[in-house]
Structures are given as structure tokens and as C-alpha cells.
Homo-oligomer: A and B are copies of this chain.
């Protein structure tokens, strides 16, 4: 139980939906994330002091408006419920690109909830951290979807359907499989992207998607990589979002030709993920980057194990 003056938490980026599990399946990423420092003040309420980049410079785009940042909103939710009435001041260090489909708003919310939790005399169970992080994340995504918050919080591959919240079900991950996450430099607004989706689907279509999700979860439990690859499909959401990321189809085609087990949009995009055998990951990242640049989009990529850790305290 830390109750020091100044605490800092890190929460990783994440892949939402993971093709097969719209709004209910997510995967944590290694090497990209947000940090949030928190300290008690003599003031009142929870406020953001500064938003900085990971280089420590003041962030060029994000304002520190505490009413419009998932970090402060998550921290407020937690502190209002369990805090001691003192003021809280946050510094947010953004390592995840904005509107990238990499769970940027979720990473800020999780890191903030995780940091402020460390200022409590008695820390909260992880399900309560989820609830407060979601209260922040809701501002960005417009709904209670935990597929970024949950993996950012507990790490790994997480099943988190809305009907089962605040439960987070850690799924076993197949041996020898990695993720590659590519971020092409364009932005997609998650809430707007969501509003453009159809509101209903035919029975044939949702049964197909549900069949793939069910098969994917069974494949994970059985360490069956071939079945996992067969099921890593999105026949409902991806077709509606593909056009908003002009390089997506080129990157996807290149990835699938180079041994990816599957490739789709990360969250609402523009980021694109692939799962692949560990040995194929480095080459796949190069191939995906090349395809993106060929389409005119500068980009960056991350390779992660499927069991990349979730949020944690850092110095």
C-alpha cells in the first residue's frame, strides 16, 4: 500500500475488438502506453496540472481541461467514491498517439485510476478500478466498452462483454504467437466511427461472427493456432470501417501474404494489427510498414507477446 506524496502509474496501449470480438475482446501491447503521476494537494477535486509527451515536453494538442480528459474523469470517479476529500493533481504523459485506435483514451484512464488508487489507504479491487477507468473512457468512446480498458488494466488477452462487466476474463494465449501493431499517421474519431455503424444485422451475419468468436475462444483454450487463424475474422465491423483507413486493405493484403494468422483494424482504426507466429513478427512489421508508406502514410509499429503486462506503478 503506497501512500507516498507522489505516485506514477503506467498503462499500456491496447488493441480493441481484435477483429473477432467487437466491443468485448482486447489485447495489451508492449512498449507503448501512457503514464500518469498523481499527488494529493491542499486544493479540492481532481485536476490535471499538465499534459506532456513522453519526452516531457508540454503536449502540443491535448489541453489539460480536467472536464474533458479521460485521465481526470477516471481519477475523479475513483476519488469521489473512495478518496479522503483531499485535492488531487495529475500530470499526464501521453505515449499513445491520439485517435490512433491504440486505446489512447483508455490508457490515460487506466493509468490515472491506477495511480490514484495508490493514494488510497486501502487499495480497491481490480474490478472497481475497471469501473472507474470506464467512467473516464466513456467520455471518449461514448459507451461502456471495456475492450481497451480491460487489457490495459490487467494485461494480456481479455474477454469483457458488457453484459458481464465488471468481470474481466483473462483468456489463455496460444504458445508462440505475437502481435504486430501498425500505426499509420492519420486519425479516426472513435465516437464518430461508432455512430456510422449499422444499428442491426441479419441473423446469418451475426451468427457467422458469433461462430468465429466462439471458435477463437475455444482455440485459445486448446492452444490451437490453426483454428485461431481460421476464426480471426470480422465480417461485420471491418467492412464498414475499411474505407476510412485508405492504406488498410494494402497493409492487410501484405500481412496475410507474409504469414499473418489474421489482420484487421485495431479498434476503429487507423491502426492495423496482425497476429502471427513469433518468428514471423519482425518481417511482418517491415512488410506492413512498407505497405503503409507505399500508400503515402508514414507509420510506426510495435511487436508484442500476447501476454504483455497491464498497468503497473513505475518510478
Known: A203-B197, A221-B221, A227-B169. A210 touches B24 (CB 8 A): yes
Q: Does A282 make an interface contact (CB < 8 A)?
A: no
**Interface stretch (choices A75-83, A118-126, A133-141, A156-164):** A156-164
Contact of A200 among B162, B197, B203 (CB under 8 A): B203
The winner among A22, A203, A230 for most chain B CB atoms within 10 A is: A203
Asked if B164 contacts A230 (CB within 8 A), the reply is yes
- CA of A127 to CA of B21 in the docked complex: distance in angstroms? 27
What are 30 A-B pairs at a CB distance below 8 A? A23-B207, A24-B207, A24-B214, A25-B214, A159-B214, A159-B218, A161-B208, A161-B211, A161-B212, A162-B208, A163-B208, A163-B211, A163-B212, A164-B211, A164-B215, A164-B230, A167-B215, A167-B227, A169-B218, A169-B222, A197-B203, A200-B201, A201-B201, A201-B203, A206-B206, A206-B210, A210-B210, A217-B218, A217-B221, A221-B221
Q: What chain B residues lie within 8 Å of A206 (beta carbons)?
A: 201, 206, 210
Please give the number of chain A residues whose Cβ is less than 8 angstroms from any Cβ of chain B in the complex. 38
- Give me the 4 closest cross-chain CB pairs, A-B, nearest first: A161-B211, A221-B221, A206-B206, A163-B211
- CA of A214 to CA of B169 in the docked complex: distance in angstroms? 10
The winner among A159, A199, A215 for most chain B CB atoms within 10 A is: A215
Q: What chain B residues lie within 8 Å of A227 (beta carbons)?
A: 164, 167, 169
Q: Does A171 make an interface contact (CB < 8 A)?
A: yes
Asked if A218 contacts B215 (CB within 8 A), the reply is no
Q: What chain B residues lie within 8 Å of A197 (beta carbons)?
A: 203
Contact of A207 among B159, B161, B208, B218 (CB under 8 A): B161
Q: What chain B residues lie within 8 Å of A211 (beta carbons)?
A: 24, 161-164
Q: Does A279 make an interface contact (CB < 8 A)?
A: no
Main secondary structure of the interface of A (DSSP, over half): helix
Q: What chain B residues lie within 8 Å of A215 (beta carbons)?
A: 159, 161, 163-164, 167, 169
Copies of this protein, total: 2
- CA of A250 to CA of B164 in the docked complex: distance in angstroms? 27
Q: Does A14 make an interface contact (CB < 8 A)?
A: no
Q: What chain B residues lie within 8 Å of A21 (beta carbons)?
A: 214
Q: What chain B residues lie within 8 Å of A208 (beta carbons)?
A: 161-163
Smallest beta-carbon distance A253→chain B, Å: 22
- CA of A164 to CA of B230 in the docked complex: distance in angstroms? 8
Q: Does A97 make an interface contact (CB < 8 A)?
A: no
Q: Told that A206-B210, A217-B218 touch, could you supply 7 new A-B pairs with CB distance under 8 A?
A: A159-B218, A164-B212, A200-B201, A200-B203, A201-B203, A217-B221, A221-B221
Q: Does A70 make an interface contact (CB < 8 A)?
A: no
- CA of A63 to CA of B24 in the docked complex: distance in angstroms? 49
Closest to A233 in B: B163
